[in-house]
Structure 1
Amino acid sequence: MSLLFVIIGGFLGTICRYSVGEWLYTENGFPLATLSVNLIGCFILGWFLTFVNHRKTINPAYTFIFGTGFIGSFTTFSTFSVETIQLFLKGLYVTALVYVLSTMILGLLLTFLGSKVALLNRKRGDTV
């Protein structure tokens, strides 16, 4: 049953990933769509996993559907890697460096912030 949940989440995440790619397509060479989905995914996954880990009433199936399936297919490390290499091969060294550093630093920051938002809501007693 867990596999079915991952498939459903993956299907929806893939559609969203494709849509963001179409919406944020740029011709200047900077992979804004991939950066955006990866950063959004970092924040959401940081929030979601913290939220789930602090609530005993959450059905574990939601982790498979949303965490593994949706966010796993929405974000993309392989595309990040390929686009970085392509930027280097085109001689866009500064752009590649900005892309790598912004992905790593902002990704970690947003994951941390997502987790903190979940904990803040828990401390205040809010339901999220």
Structure 2
Amino acid sequence: MDWLTHPVVLLAVGGGAGANARFYLGRWVAEWQLRHGGVSFPWGTCVINVTGSALLGFLAAACLGSADPGRRAWYLLLGTGFCGGFTTFSTFSVEALDLIREERIGAAVVYVLGSVLAGLGAAALAMRAGR
């Protein structure tokens, strides 16, 4: 096995790239929010998790049904690695609890239901596209 295609390397490179993408996209969304009225809603995490769900859905459909080792390597790099580093259930959970703590129950419900339903919808549509 070539060291470049070793699972540990694929996961580390993909995960590092995903975490960086999450950081910079989240920062960009937060800055955009400040420039446009300072909306106090966790849009960054929502955008990140929904786009990550779509990417993972596409990759699962395109790669996991194949016996081709190359597709498996791409899934490790981009699916498990990048999407694992990019998406964030823990931040989603803390942000939902912050909304509840701030007594913004309606916003918390919209955030939780909207994120979950949009993520499922994005993954389903992307899985269709990946077949």
> TM (normalized to structure 2)?
0.85
Distance 1:50 1:2 in 2: 20
Q: Counterpart of 1:24 in 2: which secondary structure?
A: helix
Aligned to 2:114: 102
Q: Does 1:7 align with 2:12?
A: yes
Distance in 2 (CA, whole Å) between partners of 1:76 and 1:9 is: 15
Gaps of 5+ in 1: 120-128
Q: Which residue of 2 aligns with 1:115?
A: 127
- Partner of residue 52, structure 2: 41
Within 5 A, what are the aligned runs for 1:23-34?
23-25=28-30, 26=33, 27-34=38-45
Using the alignment, how far apart are the partners of 1:70 and 1:63 within structure 2? 9
Identity %, equivalent residues:
32
Matched with 1:92 is: 104
Cα distance in 1 for residues equivalent to 2:129 and 2:51: 14
Matched-pair contact (CA < 8 Å) for 1:52–1:58: no
For the 8 Å contact 1:44–1:114, the answer to whether it is kept is yes
Cα separation, 2, equivalents of 1:58 and 1:95 = 44
Alignment partners' CA distance in 2, 1:54 and 1:117: 14
Equivalent residues of 2:53, 2:122 under 8 A apart: yes
Task: Answer whether contact 2:64 2:75 (CA < 8 A) is retained.
Answer: no
Aligned equivalents of 1:52 and 1:89: distance in 2? 41
How big is the shift at 1:58?
Answer: 4.9
Q: Which residue of 1 aligns with 2:23?
A: 18
RMSD: 1.2
Corresponding residue SS for 1:28: coil
1:53 counterpart residue number:
64
**Alignment partners' CA distance in 2, 1:68 and 1:97:** 29
Q: Check the 8 A contact 2:54/2:123 in 1, yes or no.
A: yes
Aligned partner of 2:103: which letter?
G
Segments of structure 2 that go 5 or more residues without pairing to the other structure are 1-5
Tell me how many residue pairs correspond in the alignment. 119
